[in-house]
Amino acid sequence: MSVPFITVEGPIGIGKTTLSKAISERHEFHQLKEIVDENPFLNKFYDNIDEWSFQTEMFFLCNRYKQLSDIRNEILIEQKPVVADYHIFKNLIFAKRTLKFDEYIKYEEIYKILTQDMPVPNVIIYLHASLDTLMKRIAIRGRKFEKNMDPAYLQQLVEDYETFITYFEKAHPEIPVLRFNGDQIDFVNNDQDLQFVLKVVDETIQKGASLNEFT
């Protein structure tokens, strides 16, 4: 039986959790949500990135590893579809930007060990937007620890995501990447935009099932 494993990705504030929830509710997929607020280092991280980046990234990596292990052992093994509001490759995007070179080398080694037998999503939804749009959405949701975020850091993150996704598309042509521009589509506040996005996702799922792409 084919089993969709969809992941929604993009920079901070783009609406990953909102969209993954909508997909989950539409298809009754299991929703996997990343742990953010529980990270005890985030407040310190945004105040002093150099000092607290390694602790922050290691916390995220270990928690995402545990989540994906549980998904593999409890959900996917039962042939139940999953939609997640992150792909674990985001760890490399953030870590490469924030960690010192020697820290990143150690981090990457740990990442490779932990992820070598992790389940791999077979559809990626990539959400992207301009810095202005992201800053507005971050302000609206009002997370306390994000108030001190440097716009320059977020802008660089936008560029890092674009570079990584472009590389990913070339390296993994077998995995469809659905791109949506958040400057043009507001699926949070506009139901017509949401239905458009869901329609594209539906068509991708149906195509994957018919071609038996999902394993």
Give φ, ψ of 16 to 5 degrees: -60, -50
Residue 154, helix vs strand vs coil: helix
Residues annotated as part of the active site: 85
For residue 127, the surrounding DSSP H or E stretch is strand 123-128
State the pLDDT at residue 208. 75
Q: How far apart are CA 51 and CA 80, in angstroms?
A: 41
State the pLDDT at residue 1. 35
- Residue 174, C-beta contacts closer than 8 angstroms, at least 6 positions apart: 213
Q: Are 47 and 148 in contact (CB under 8 A)?
A: yes
Give φ, ψ of 54 to 5 degrees: -65, -45
Q: How far apart are CA 86 and CA 147, in angstroms?
A: 22
Cβ of 131: how many Cβ atoms within 10 Å?
Answer: 17
Which residues of the chain fall short of a pLDDT of 70?
1-2, 209-215
Q: How far apart are CA 9 and CA 30, in angstroms?
A: 17
Give φ, ψ of 2 to 5 degrees: -80, 140
CA dist 45 to 79, 147, 150, Å? 38, 12, 11
Radius of gyration of the chain, Cα coordinates, nearest whole angstrom:
17
State the pLDDT at residue 164. 96
For residue 16, the surrounding DSSP H or E stretch is helix 16-27
The alpha carbon of 50 is separated from its chain's Cα centroid by a whole number of angstroms, namely 23
* pLDDT tens, residue by residue, 1-58: 368 999 999 999 999 999 999 999 999 999 999 988 788 887 888 888 889 999 999 9
